[in-house]
């Protein structure tokens, strides 16, 4: 894609009442112990006004090595969902380790013909980044069935659950900008400043992996962007290394701001250990004077604030605010092509 014009932002069509949302195994398997998480996710999505169906590969206990199925099988099911005009959104059941195996098998023409919201984080970050690079699709770095809607949401206070449910429903059905995301006291200003730009990011190790594939975002797509990332597991030194990979590749010289999610289970970041995540970030950034907002509640620490990849955001690190300045979905329109199938 080097040297080619970037794709226009491709917004999925807004969902309407009664539209079909499918929960699909896009990476890891569904252990029997997490079947209740899927059932609770169905209930959350139905409260938002949608019909919900499970994709066939989402079967408790089914697995192929560390995956729900082979990469070709997962790609086949995903492509069928992308081509089915009745399906209006796809929610990943979980993350995992499989998306790299089928990035080259995805029917991007089906996405261009009928863009749909795909929700998920962790390994699903690869899908968001690659599909945004190839088609301009807005990816929904957002909660999924395990452990998100069906786990983290359940453990959150009732008021927070209601706030998130209303936020997700607006994001999927509304064609007006959301504005400021609901902040929490955990948000920290690591470097002050105020910028606006497209939101690009995901799980930090998946950002680095995506950039190593033929489907990487061209460097110019990071010009003026607000880079968001989080990490789960591993070591603090790994995060430092990933950031240096982005420095060497030129990404850090192009972005306008950075938003860092709440870290989870990262060795070397325990209380009293040195350095802190803030120190690691500022060390790698050096004299790059860009705003950095830290400890924002998205990612594996959950519940997730949705981060629609590609859409324009406003970041004010000193005021600890992050605002979605444009809608993530386009007008609700009748789907062209094959007639809708009934369930």
CB neighbours of 155 closer than 8 A, spacing ≥ 6?
none
- Under a CB-based contact definition with an 8 Å cutoff, are residues 193 and 317 in contact? yes
Token pair belonging to 45: 């999505």
Cα 38 from Cα 54, distance rounded (Å)? 9
Bridge-based pairing state of the strands 179-180 and 321-324: antiparallel
Question: Which residue out of 128, 141, 152, 300 is catalytically annotated?
Answer: 300
Active site residue 300: yes
Active site residue 128: no
Q: Output the CA torsion 217→220→221→226 (10° steps).
A: 120
Question: Which residue out of 132, 152, 230, 231 is catalytically annotated?
Answer: 230
CB neighbours of 98 closer than 8 A, spacing ≥ 6?
26, 27, 28, 66, 67, 68, 71, 74, 123
Active site residue 274: no
Question: Which residue out of 77, 122, 125, 231 is catalytically annotated?
Answer: 122
Residues annotated as part of the active site? 122, 230, 300
């Amino acid at each position: 894609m080097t040297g080619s014009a970037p794709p226009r932002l491709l917004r999925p069509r807004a969902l309407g009442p009664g539209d079909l949302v499918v929960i699909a195994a896009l990476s890891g398997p569904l252990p029997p112990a997490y079947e209740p998480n899927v059932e609770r996710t169905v209930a959350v999505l139905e409260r938002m006004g949608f019909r919900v169906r499970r994709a066939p590969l989402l079967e408790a206990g089914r697995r192929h090595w560390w995956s729900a199925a082979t990469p070709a099988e997962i790609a086949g099911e995903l492509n069928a969902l992308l081509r089915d005009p009745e399906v209006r959104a796809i929610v990943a059941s979980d993350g995992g380790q499989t998306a790299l195996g089928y990035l080259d098998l995805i029917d991007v023409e089906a996405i261009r013909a009928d863009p749909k919201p795909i929700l998920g984080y962790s390994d699903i970050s690869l899908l968001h980044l690659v599909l945004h690079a190839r088609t301009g699709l807005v990816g929904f770095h957002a909660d999924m069935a395990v452990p998100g809607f069906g786990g983290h949401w359940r453990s959150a206070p009732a008021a927070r659950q209601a706030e998130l449910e209303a936020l997700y429903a607006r994001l999927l059905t509304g064609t007006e900008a959301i504005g400021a995301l609901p902040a929490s006291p955990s948000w920290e200003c690591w470097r002050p400043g105020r910028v606006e730009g497209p939101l690009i990011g995901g799980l930090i190790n998946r950002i680095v992996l995506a950039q190593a594939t033929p489907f990487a975002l061209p460097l110019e797509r990071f010009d003026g962007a607000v880079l968001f990332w989080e990490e789960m597991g591993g070591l603090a030194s790994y995060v430092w290394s990933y950031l240096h990979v982005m420095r060497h590749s030129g990404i850090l010289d192009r972005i306008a701001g950075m938003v860092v999610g709440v870290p989870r289970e990262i060795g070397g970041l325990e209380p009293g250990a040195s350095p802190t995540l803030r120190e690691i970030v500022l060390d790698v950034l050096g004299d790059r004077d860009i705003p950095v907002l830290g400890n924002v509640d998205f990612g594996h620490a959950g519940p997730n604030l949705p981060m629609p990849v590609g859409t324009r955001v406003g970041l004010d690190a000193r005021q600890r605010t992050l605002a979605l300045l444009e809608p993530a979905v386009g007008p609700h329109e009748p789907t062209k092509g094959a007639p809708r199938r009934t369930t």
